[in-house]
């Protein structure tokens, strides 16, 4: 699993994955990792293969089929497309035009095919976002998973800034959240879970003028990766040592946050 690379056209990062659970995100990007450069051919995944790729925990076949169905239902709600500069021409399409689940077969499988119009998202890439599936998969929070993907789009620059509106939309943050809720339920898990993966990670709020100096954006900075940095073929021990180093040498985290972050990467009960 450590040598599985996720790689796709950056446009895929601009689509908010509304209502996707962490399990459904794992299933979707596990599929994406194996659909690259397959063109319009139908790709078959055995249940065991997809469970292994996505580190799926449930043992029940019915539960797995239900999660696959929910993943595809959410995918059908996503609309990719293009709009002309004049705004008078619009094209919209879904990513997959075949998603067949056969749990009655002697070796249960899923068959998937990419929609013709969506082929540029995964084929003959001239620019791309890339990362190790194992790093994405092992994140627990859906907010951390989404921000991980977004930051990997800037991995060689080490800086990314989002307006508050874009940040809330891309992460699918409930509209009912106040700033204190965003700090607690969105920013905090992002800091704890991504600090092990991005050396020197800092998260800064950007403030506007006016009454109360409202938050108008979020800026993320970290040590930029080399263009030839190895994403895969990295041992679990090496990943863990790197993660611990990044946590221990990050001055942004409190001692409590560091303890929680280390417990998370070790898979221990928090505290």
Is the domain of 16 the same as that of 109? yes
In-domain check, residue 133: no
In-domain check, residue 253: yes
> Given 92, 121, 150, which residue is the final one in a domain?
121
In-domain check, residue 148: yes
Is the domain of 106 the same as that of 149? no
Is the domain of 151 the same as that of 196? yes
Model pLDDT, residue 270: 64
Q: Considering only CA atoms, which of 116, 113, 138 is closest in space to residue 31? A: 113
Tell me how crowded residue 125 is: count the other CB atoms within 10 A of its CB. 16
User: Is 0.75 topped by the overall pTM?
Assistant: yes
Is the domain of 186 the same as that of 248? yes
In-domain check, residue 12: yes
Is the domain of 98 the same as that of 151? no
Model pLDDT, residue 2: 52
Model pLDDT, residue 227: 83
Q: Residue 114's domain spans which residues?
A: 5-121
Is the domain of 106 the same as that of 147? no
What tens-digit pLDDT sequence spans the chain (271 residues)? 457 899 999 999 998 898 899 999 999 999 999 999 999 999 999 999 999 999 998 778 899 999 999 999 998 888 788 788 898 998 888 899 999 999 999 999 999 999 999 999 999 999 999 999 999 999 999 999 999 999 999 999 999 999 999 999 999 999 999 999 999 999 999 999 999 999 999 999 999 987 888 999 999 999 999 888 777 778 888 888 999 999 999 988 888 888 888 888 887 776 5
CATH number at residue 150: 1.10.10.10
In-domain check, residue 134: no
Is the domain of 183 the same as that of 237? yes
Is the domain of 109 the same as that of 228? no
CATH number at residue 25: 1.10.10
Number of domains in the chain: 2
CA distance 14 to 9: 10
Half-sphere exposure of 185 (CA within 13 A, CB side): 13
Is the domain of 154 the same as that of 241? yes
Half-sphere exposure of 107 (CA within 13 A, CB side): 7
Exposure string over 51-79, b if 16+ CB within 10 A, otherwise e: bebbebeeeeeeebbebbebbbebbeebe
In-domain check, residue 128: no
In-domain check, residue 146: yes
In-domain check, residue 234: yes
Is the domain of 114 the same as that of 150? no
Is the domain of 144 the same as that of 261? yes
Is the domain of 253 the same as that of 220? yes
């Amino acid at each position: 699993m450590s040598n599985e690379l996720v790689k796709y056209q950056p446009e895929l990062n601009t689509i908010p994955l509304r209502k996707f659970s962490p399990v459904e995100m794992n299933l979707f990007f596990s599929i994406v990792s194996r659909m690259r450069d397959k063109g319009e051919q139908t790709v078959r995944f055995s249940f065991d293969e997809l469970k292994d790729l996505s580190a799926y925990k449930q043992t029940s076949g019915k539960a797995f089929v239900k999660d696959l169905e929910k993943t595809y239902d959410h995918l059908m709600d996503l609309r990719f497309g293009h709009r002309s500069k004049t705004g008078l021409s619009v094209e919209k399409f879904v990513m997959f035009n075949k998603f067949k689940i056969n749990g009655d077969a002697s070796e249960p499988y899923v068959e998937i095919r990419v929609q013709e119009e969506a082929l540029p998202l995964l084929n003959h890439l001239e620019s791309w976002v890339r990362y190790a599936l194992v790093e994405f998969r092992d994140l627990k929070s859906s907010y951390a998973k989404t921000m991980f993907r977004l930051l990997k789009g800037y991995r060689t620059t080490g800086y990314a800034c989002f307006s508050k509106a874009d940040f809330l939309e891309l992460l699918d943050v409930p509209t009912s959240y106040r700033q204190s809720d965003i700090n607690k339920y969105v920013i905090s898990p992002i800091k704890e879970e991504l600090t092990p993966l991005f050396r020197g990670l800092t998260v800064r709020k950007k403030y506007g003028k006016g009454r109360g100096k409202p938050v108008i954006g979020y800026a993320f900075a970290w040590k930029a990766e080399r263009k030839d940095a190895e994403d895969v073929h990295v041992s679990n021990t090496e990943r863990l040592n790197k993660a611990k180093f990044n946590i221990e040498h990050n001055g942004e985290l409190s001692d409590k946050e560091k303890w929680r972050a280390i417990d998370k990467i070790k898979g221990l009960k928090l505290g």
